Chains A and B, each alone.
Chain A
Amino acid sequence: MPYFLLMRSAQAAFALFGVTTLVFLILHLSGDPVALMVPEGATAADIDLLRKQFGFDRPLPVQFVDYLAGLATGDFGISYIQNTPVLGIVASRLPFTLQLTAAALAIALLVGLPIGVLAALTRGRWPEKPAMALVLAAQSMPTFWSGILLIMLFAVNLDWLPSSGAERPESIILPAVCLSGLTMATFARITRNAVVEELGKDYVRAAYARGQTRLAVVMRHILRNASIPLISVISLELANMLAGAVIVETVFAWPGLGLLAVQAIQANDFVVVQALVLLGSIFYIVANLLADVLYGVVDPRIRTLGK
């Protein structure tokens, strides 16, 4: 196990370095924030002066080493646009994205799992049809469209929920539902397939033969075995949700990292974009690591193999 963790950490460090380098290069190739900062009509002298003051006139490798040195000491730099430390900006937005993702994940699990089980148990009969239709709808609707539909229905027409922002506790409902759609559909499909696969196995027939009820068989035996593919999908879906949050947060004016990312990219605010990409990568790597550990918790056979 320690060897395993060590290997994974080394891989993670290498991946993070690669991501940092790549993002740094791509961002700097497109020009610097000064280009977007100065008003129309700025003279060449004004632009040069500002670039010099910000240090963008230095050779790219020098800027890169400088940036890495900062990172090594935990200094993510100061936003060129907002003039405040990047860490503070990101930290103030992180809780909103975490809340949104957690709420969306909960909805996706609470809705997707039962639908998947229901569809598997009623395969070929009528309850499967509407269940899978719902899954298909959730899967095919792009969030920028379903988001607007949700706002029109629940905020404008029914006046039940706020149309945007994060001022009130119930503000999270619409964006979370919107973000959960695609993931819910994935969970439902994975669960359905996994349960269908388990249904035909000997241990299920044995359980029925012992006189157990269907509910007990599903809850006690089938779901436990069916959850292995689900766990690996959850860690992947978390990354998808972070990406989806960019759109959902923009539509609902939810003040998370996605909204921040859009703003920072539009303004070429390098340091903020870099910090966000780094954070995203770390999140993804940790989620995958957790999934690997969780396999062992759910299925002791995998734990044994790990040793």
Chain B
Amino acid sequence: MKRLLITLSAVAALGLAAGANAKDTLVIDNVQEPASLDPHRQWNPDSYTVYRNIYDNLVTRDAAGNVVAQVAKSWRALSDTVVEFQLRDDIAFHDGTPLTAHDVVFSVKRITDPAFKSPQLGQFSKIVGARATGEHTVELTTDGPYPVLMAQLVKLSVVSRDYTTRVGDERLNLEPMGSGPYRFVEWRKGVKVVLARNENYWHGTPPFATVEFAAVPDTATRIADLKTGKADLIVGLNPDDAQQLAGTRGVEVRAIPTERIGYFMMNNQAGPLTDKRVRRALAHAIDRQLIIDALLGGFSQVTNQLLTPAHFGYIEGLEWYAYDPARAKALLAEAGHGGGLEIEIITAPPFDQRIIQAIQQQLSEVGVTLKISMSDMASFLKRRRADPQGFGDTVFGRWSCACQDADGVLYAMFHSGSVWSKYANPALDKQLEAGRSTLDENQRLAAYREAHRIIREEVPSIPLYQAAAIYGVKRSLKWTPTANESLFITDMAWQE
């Protein structure tokens, strides 16, 4: 009994201590624990929101979304395919060693080495050469003019060459060591990752002494964590969850339109949707604003092109087909489907099924039956990337290239050579190729303007909305979410 009492009072004391220090520790509830803390492996929000605070990137984006300096303080093109980067000379890794050109070159070579098996390989595979030309100068060579290079380098975390080669890949994953604002303290598997302030950070003292990223898969539990004060910031809410938080004192909902595009894509190369009139009919039949108001809580916004304002290549003021069921019926009758039409949509559990059911309902009002084929994610992806015969008729998705550039969306979605495309049009291919092979921004914009026009004309896919990211936040935390869904701790602070 005495021992029990001692234990209990120790527990209580610990609890009190935790309470007293709450302001020094920021707790963030992610959905899952990181798949990896090696920044050159998995690129998913549960992983990168953590490791991007441990590492610095070659370049980064400012609040307005522009690519700005981080490890590289300036850069210039030596030719169409070679860019020279001047690095800061005052950055040190957490073990005290300076960050030099060799670390940047090592990082580029590591992530682009096929034997390393990085899932991010495709984002950097255009880089064919990396060379240190001075202690703090690096030259990157691409296999042709590559306008998206800087947008991709926003995601290139710089690891230490010496540390990585010394401890090996496995330990780098378990005990990451970078130059970022936070240093790694502990990864309690399945529970949380603990980071501590890097007191010698080159870009000012980071705001909190300790930061914890917890793994809490259940949304209701994350909300409970926020309400009880266990967590200060929770991710991955949907509009209904947001309503639950609305009445709670001391916490609030913060949402931001992201660079994810909700789209309804059609098979242009097989089945009834090869007929442009049918595709246009579907475009007229879907009431996008209603879906946003009824299902997405008004957090998302209608977009009239397959890009968001956060992308390069987004053109202001484009039009899309108005919601007009009568026009849809007329077009369907014209195409010989006056008596009804059945089409299939392929999907998987991660996609919001309410939206698919809403589209199903809206299409049924113009005489189109949408048959929902649900499978697990891996089987779904197999069909999603299959040839047009194996694909099915339609798919709903939320596209993110994490690069905020038209090339990352439109090329993969519509170029005839892409596994994601179910569309082949030499005229569009030409514009998409032009958009990725020149560094001239005006030429690129002209190409994408023409691409948007062709897509509007041919309707290979219907843009639905710019998806929102919704967070639950302790009111006293000063922080504005960003379109790229990053959680940079240096952007946060307690309000006075």
Give residues in A with beta carbon < 8 Å to B: 30-32, 34-44, 46-47, 49-50, 53-54, 81-84, 89, 92-93, 96, 144, 148, 151-152, 155-156, 159, 162-170, 250-253, 255-256, 259-260, 262-263, 266-268
Contact of A53 among B38, B117, B125, B385 (CB under 8 A): B117
A30 contacts B379, CB within 8 Å? yes
A151 contacts B220, CB within 8 Å? yes
Contact of A260 among B43, B173, B190, B418 (CB under 8 A): B190
The CA of A256 and the CA of B419, in the complex, are separated in Å by 38
Among the 9-residue stretches B159-167, B211-219, B306-314, B435-443, the one with 4 or more Cβ atoms under 8 Å from chain A is B211-219
A170 contacts B419, CB within 8 Å? no
The CA of A7 and the CA of B273, in the complex, are separated in Å by 61
- Of the A-B pairs whose beta carbons lie under 8 Å apart in the complex, a sample of 21, sorted by A's number, is A31-B378, A36-B377, A37-B42, A41-B408, A41-B409, A43-B419, A46-B121, A82-B36, A144-B218, A156-B227, A156-B228, A164-B222, A164-B230, A165-B214, A166-B191, A253-B216, A253-B217, A255-B189, A259-B190, A259-B217, A267-B35
A83 contacts B36, CB within 8 Å? yes
Which B residues touch A256, using CB under 8 A?
A: 190
Number of residues of chain B lying within 8 A (CB) of chain A: 63
- Name the residue on B nearest A256 (C-beta): B190
Which A residues touch B221, using CB under 8 A?
A: 148, 151, 163-164, 251-253
Asked whether B400 is an interface residue with its Cβ less than 8 Å from the other chain, the reply is yes
The CA of A159 and the CA of B399, in the complex, are separated in Å by 41
Q: A163-B221, A166-B190, A268-B377 are in contact. List 9 more A-B contacts (CB 8 A).
A: A31-B378, A35-B378, A41-B409, A43-B412, A53-B117, A81-B35, A83-B41, A84-B173, A148-B224
Which B residues touch A42, using CB under 8 A?
A: 122, 412, 419
Asked whether B123 is an interface residue with its Cβ less than 8 Å from the other chain, the reply is yes
Q: Which of A36, A37, A96 has the most CB of B within 10 A?
A: A37
The CA of A88 and the CA of B320, in the complex, are separated in Å by 54
Q: Taking the nearest CB of chain B, how far is it from the CB of A214, in angstroms?
A: 31
The CA of A163 and the CA of B231, in the complex, are separated in Å by 10
B420 contacts A250, CB within 8 Å? no
Which B residues touch A168, using CB under 8 A?
A: 11, 14-15
Contact of A30 among B32, B114, B191, B376 (CB under 8 A): B376
Give residues in B with beta carbon < 8 Å to A: 7, 11, 14-15, 32-33, 35-36, 38, 41-43, 114-115, 117, 119-123, 125, 169-170, 173-174, 188-192, 214-218, 220-222, 224-225, 227-228, 230, 376-379, 381-382, 385, 397, 399-402, 408-409, 411-413, 418-420
A41 contacts B412, CB within 8 Å? yes
A92 contacts B189, CB within 8 Å? yes
Q: Which of A166, A167, A268 has the most CB of B within 10 A?
A: A167
- Name the residue on A nearest B123 (C-beta): A39
B378 contacts A263, CB within 8 Å? no
Which 7 pairs show the lowest CB-CB distances between chains A and B? A255-B190, A41-B412, A31-B378, A46-B122, A163-B224, A253-B216, A37-B119
Contact of A263 among B32, B216, B376, B400 (CB under 8 A): B32
The CA of A168 and the CA of B169, in the complex, are separated in Å by 32
- Name the residue on B nearest A151 (C-beta): B224
Contact of A148 among B220, B230, B419 (CB under 8 A): B220
Contact of B378 among A36, A89, A169, A251 (CB under 8 A): A36
Contact of B224 among A40, A46, A152, A266 (CB under 8 A): A152
Which A residues touch B122, using CB under 8 A?
A: 38-39, 41-43, 46
B402 contacts A35, CB within 8 Å? no
- Name the residue on B nearest A32 (C-beta): B378
Which A residues touch B399, using CB under 8 A?
A: 40-41
Q: Which of A40, A148, A167 has the most CB of B within 10 A?
A: A40
B225 contacts A164, CB within 8 Å? yes
B11 contacts A169, CB within 8 Å? yes
The CA of A164 and the CA of B190, in the complex, are separated in Å by 12
Q: Taking the nearest CB of chain B, how far is it from the CB of A261, in angstroms?
A: 11
- Name the residue on B nearest A92 (C-beta): B189
The CA of A159 and the CA of B227, in the complex, are separated in Å by 10
Contact of B230 among A81, A163, A262 (CB under 8 A): A163
- Name the residue on B nearest A152 (C-beta): B224
A81 contacts B36, CB within 8 Å? yes
The CA of A168 and the CA of B7, in the complex, are separated in Å by 12
User: A148-B220, A163-B228 are contacts. A83–B215 as well, Cβ < 8 Å?
Assistant: no
Which B residues touch A159, using CB under 8 A?
A: 228
Which B residues touch A164, using CB under 8 A?
A: 214, 216, 221-222, 224-225, 230
Which A residues touch B114, using CB under 8 A?
A: 49, 53
User: A151-B224, A155-B224 are contacts. A47–B169 as well, Cβ < 8 Å?
Assistant: no
- Name the residue on A nearest B188 (C-beta): A255
Which A residues touch B15, using CB under 8 A?
A: 168
